[in-house]
Structure 1
Amino acid sequence: MIIRTLFLLQIGLFFCISPVIGFAGDKQIFNVKANEKINGNEVDSTKAIQTAIDAAIKAGPGSTVQLQKGKYRLSAVDLQPCLKIGHANGLIIQGQGENTELIITNPRCQAINLDYSKNTIIKSLVIDYDPLPYTQGRIIDVNAEDEYFDLDIEEGFPELDKPWFAAASEKNVAFGMLFDGNMPVIKANAPDHIFFKSWQKISGRVYRLNSRPDQKSKVAYIAKGDRFVLLARLAGGGAGIYFGDCERCGLEDVKIYASNSGAVIAVSCNELVFRRLEVKRRPNTNRLLSTDADGVHCQQNRVGPLIEDCLFEYIADDTLNIYCTVSRILESPNTSELILSQDCRLKSGDRLQIYNPREGRVLGERIIKALDELPGQRYRVQLDKSIEGILTGANHFEADTAFNLSASGQGYVIRNNRMIGQRRHGMLLRGGNGIIENNYIKDVRGLGIVLANDPDWPEGPIPGNIVIKNNTIVRVGDDFGYGHRVDSGAIQVINTRTGWNLGKGRDIRNIVIEGNKVIDPIGAAIFVGGARNVTILNNEITASEDSRIYEKRAAVRIANCEGVKIDGLSVVDPRPDCIAAVEILADTAADVNGVAITRLKAQLHTGAVQVIDNRK
């Protein structure tokens, strides 16, 4: 705990001093004026800003690119960034708040790309797309049997004959989301997405959308009058702002109103900081959506990030996703040597988590003593200690896998943020040594806070050493496929094996769930599965009698665990289908070695009980 506290202090200290680093020494300011129109024609400002960025990088640490009030229209060819920041150190990109807008005119390019940069910050500006990388409209006819519906596209939104929609269809990422017909929210108790094989123009702005055959059951949830958003998401090359191999960089007071992928994507970075970032629908518009994918998407980051005082609304995926990619174990020449795929970057000294995805068990952790790159995008890895019983293979379903704990975003801090209306989860966290505190999560259609691996996707590692404290979670999971699952929870802590089933190992360790408030849970408020040494302390769970609940559930459910301590739990739930305050499943360790419960207070419907213990 002392080590983790010192580390978090270092993260906080970095962001406090980073503006000072940026302005240190003989600073140079490079001003770029917003020339919106010349002789009535819109001006592309890409070259002017890029020239200023290049000059500021060359001038060295302390330089600032100053953007004035106004709208800067930016463009690039498909799958390329409008603005490139490479090998910068101590650079500041400074706007004038919401009066400085970067308008991206190609829905198939990034706004800003930062590579191999240090101590660089983007501040006080807005990013938006025109035209948008999605469209929306109202459903005027449905034929569930023939797997189609007719969509009347609203004025001001692009029609489906635009090339960015065709490109999404070719990449098999043409999907959309069903919205309520009367309110600008994702439709409750319905599938969260539908994929399409084709569409045709019927008349005017009306298009017939033909779902894929495997999506037929989802069309049955659509009603005439519902609204719908169809994405032109980029499977690769998209982002509002992309950080690659950056260190101690970040965003401050940036607003992102649209993106063709994640609002912010960070890959192989270290100690990034995002403060007062807002990802939301453009104000004073009828848009249903902000970004096409995650709010902040972090892959293979060494440390962090810190995400603080941010707002995330109506995102077409998860608010936050922190993880590392899988390394497939292709061969094991001996017990201390592995041949791994290069899906994840590795270095000497990195710590690997070796995982059996079929059973859902951690086989061990080993440090890389030495490694060599081999032809065919492979690593030869020498381990510090031998490991027995490894199963090798060509894919992540058949073979055991390795996850790089040293590049999984450990040490993240997620504090004082608001997350509202997302298609999927509030947070999806796979890295460890994290703190999640004082966040407000409401009406996301996935779950609120998820600590889990996913060997099917595949992402990992198994998380551990995490504090979830003083968060408020309101009415999450109200969508088919999330709240309906037996392992769902507004706070979900779960070790999964292939098939999205509960793992056999109790490998998630040292989790503290303290002082949280869960309001109107759709299923369980807290689910913990495949874990040990979990403290559930002073949490409050409340529900109104008329709020929705899927099937019969307990407020807290414990499965295949040991060393769980529940203390000071308060449950007020008058709904008949809330059958208990706590349910302990049969595969949990016996007596108090499995679960110890003290100071439990419960006000439940007549016939419900405080504890259901299936081990008896």
Structure 2
Amino acid sequence: NASGYLAEVFFPAGSYRVGSTNAYALPLENLSDICLKGEGTNTVLLVSNPENGCLGFAYSTNVAVQGLVVDYDPLPFTQGTITAVDTAGGTFDLLIDPGYPELSEPSFSAANAKWGLKVDLAREAYDVWAYFSSSWVNIGVREWRMAADTPSYLQAHPLSVGDRYVHMARRWTAFDIGFDFCMGVELRDVTVYASAGLTTGLIYSGDIVIHGLHVGRKPGSTRLLSSNGDGIHSAGCSDGLLIEDCSFEGMPDDGINIHGRGGPIISNVTDTVKWVGMQRPAFYAAGDEIQILNNAAGGIRGNAILLDAVRLNDYVWEITLDHPMPDVYADPAWVNGDKLSNLSRCGQGSIIRNNFFGSHRGRDILLRSHDVTVTNNHFFNPSLASHAVSLQQEYGYYAEGPPAYNVDICGNLFEGGTNRWSWSSPRVSTRSYLPGGIQSPTYDSWNVEIKGNTFMNIDGPAVTVTSASDVRIINNTVDTEFGIKVASSPVVLLEHAYDIQIDGLDIHDLNPATYAAVHIKDTVSPLLGSVVVTDLTTDLAAGSTDIQDDR
């Protein structure tokens, strides 16, 4: 057959209603060498149960989905206009648009995550604030009074009458297209207009090619949202993903999230045998390389190879290390134990190229992995509310890791605009936080090259480097028109950093809010050569400085 697989399930042009009482409308397990193929945008899989994912592959090899559209009827979200806000009482009223689901539909009360957000399509802006609301009452025709789960949050970030608002029936286990423990995965020329949860979920899979995946609002519709979750979410995959020629718009979360899974050390059985808890389902095998972080003070305690890995129950693994690690801190309460990440199962070696990221809430790319290349992508987000490429480590968030290292970010276009809504985040950033949101004092990311990128009309830093070392910012261009920038910031911000090289940075930015080309904070290492800036070309406003060094 034309797809090149031994078996092909062909969907001629048409609309196919699919649904079930399971997690997936079409669960597909223990398959080999098979392709599900449609006729491009003329073939639509229409999920009829908003609590379903669409296609769920598991324990399969050499499987593909090609040339089709996924949509929902009824939708797994609703939308409307805010008609009243009572911040003191912790409620707000939502008038649902005609044709969109009422909150009395069972999918909303059954949702795993009940929250919503403001959307302003005219400004291509998705607000960063997430309003969690688990209860509501009907107060009129298509009108509902929603109670904020945390009234103080609504007081701190009040909604306004007239705001356009989306509320989701978001599921944790229902991906539009899911792959669990699959090897040899191909997604090609697939379009997604809605999803109950993650758009594509790749869990402990490998040998993955995603080409021409397009996530966006349905053309010709009045929808404010596309998918209910990340565009591509890779957790625990054993080797790199190739993601190319895709587009991501309209989601309430990240475009691409690649990470490993791990957990807290809950018992030091011996110097070489440890018990690891699972906040989310995790998998280990003999031969895996793991990394253990010092959750109290920051930094890496060390790496080890697993000699053995045994799952004791639904929540705990017992692992055997190839050498003693006596200083690991264990917490049986699962609160403060050192964090373990699996370096062999974190999507390492991924290539992300030639993709387009449009307006949505969340980061365009979130990396907790290593040996990743991000190249020739176009990041366009006029509201600038979240990071474009984020290398972010959170010690207290055991479910995702490790800190990113060996990352190349090269030849990309980062484009902003005048529609800033909440705040302006850096386009490229390394960040690391200890429990409690304290910035890590250690260099958790390293060997990062940011080279040959163009930053246009950005209201905020082009690059922020914190808790990182061996970062090279080479031959980048920043061009921001006068009047674009509101937020006071430098072009490059360095904090808790060491061994930073900046060369060939060319800046044209006459906005007074750009107070410096490079700001070196006093937490940066004072050692000679810790920051080297060469061939810096600037065209800045009067009063701005090339280098502000606080050390």
**Could you tell me the TM-score, scaled by structure 1's length?**
0.85
What's 2:402 paired with? 461
Please state if 1:447 is matched with 2:390. no
SS at match of 1:165: helix
Structure 2: runs of 5+ lacking an equivalent: none
Structure-2 separation of matches of 1:220 and 1:590: 39
Query: 1:388-432 CA distances to partner (integer Å, 9 max, x unpaired)?
Result: 421110355411121000011101111000011111100111011
Match of 1:536 among 460, 473, 478: 473
**Are the aligned partners of 1:521 and 1:543 in contact in 2 as well (CA < 8 Å)?**
yes
Q: CA RMSD in A?
A: 2.0
What's 2:92 paired with? 149
Percent identity between the two aligned chains: 29
**Are the aligned partners of 1:578 and 1:604 in contact in 2 as well (CA < 8 Å)?**
yes
SS at match of 1:183: helix
**Are the aligned partners of 2:195 and 2:226 in contact in 1 as well (CA < 8 Å)?**
yes
Query: 1:423-465 CA distances to partner (integer Å, 9 max, x unpaired)?
Result: 1100111011000001111226321000122223332101110
Query: 1:467-506 CA distances to partner (integer Å, 9 max, x unpaired)?
Result: 00111122389454x63xxxx5210112322223321211
Give the 5 Å matches for 1:514-533.
514-533=451-470
Equivalent position amino acid for 1:135 in 2: T
Structure-2 separation of matches of 1:288 and 1:257: 11
Q: CA deviation at 1:376?
A: 6.4
Give the 5 Å matches for 1:211-610.
211-217=148-154, 220-234=157-171, 236-342=172-278, 343-375=281-313, 377-395=315-333, 397-443=335-381, 445-458=385-398, 459-475=400-416, 478=420, 480=422, 483=424, 488-550=425-487, 552-610=488-546
Equivalent position amino acid for 1:314 in 2: G
- Change over 3 Å in CA distance of 1:371–1:432 after alignment to 2: same
SS at match of 1:596: strand
**Which of the pair is proportionally richer in strand?**
2
SS at match of 1:164: helix
Q: Which sits farther off after the overlay, 536-545 or 428-437?
A: 536-545
Match of 2:117 among 159, 162, 177: 177
Q: How many residues align?
A: 545
Equivalent position amino acid for 1:88 in 2: L
**Are the aligned partners of 1:344 and 1:404 in contact in 2 as well (CA < 8 Å)?**
no
Equivalent position amino acid for 1:356 in 2: N
Structure-1 separation of matches of 2:221 and 2:156: 28
- Change over 3 Å in CA distance of 1:441–1:391 after alignment to 2: same
Please state if 1:76 is matched with 2:20. yes
Q: CA deviation at 1:72?
A: 0.5
**Are the aligned partners of 1:360 and 1:502 in contact in 2 as well (CA < 8 Å)?**
no
**Are the aligned partners of 1:90 and 1:118 in contact in 2 as well (CA < 8 Å)?**
yes
- Change over 3 Å in CA distance of 1:316–1:232 after alignment to 2: same
Structure 1: runs of 5+ lacking an equivalent: 1-18, 24-60
Please state if 1:97 is matched with 2:37. no
SS at match of 1:465: strand
- Change over 3 Å in CA distance of 1:89–1:392 after alignment to 2: same
**Could you tell me the TM-score, scaled by structure 2's length?**
0.94
**Are the aligned partners of 2:407 and 2:447 in contact in 1 as well (CA < 8 Å)?**
yes
**Are the aligned partners of 2:341 and 2:402 in contact in 1 as well (CA < 8 Å)?**
yes
Give the 5 Å matches for 1:74-223.
74-77=18-21, 79-168=22-111, 171=112, 173-180=113-120, 183=122, 185-186=124-125, 191-217=128-154, 220-223=157-160
SS at match of 1:329: strand
Equivalent position amino acid for 1:448 in 2: A
Query: 1:114-154 CA distances to partner (integer Å, 9 max, x unpaired)?
Result: 11111111100000000000011112223333332222111
Structure-1 separation of matches of 2:157 and 2:60: 49
- Change over 3 Å in CA distance of 1:219–1:535 after alignment to 2: closer
Q: Which sits farther off after the overlay, 606-615 or 342-351?
A: 342-351
SS at match of 2:206: coil
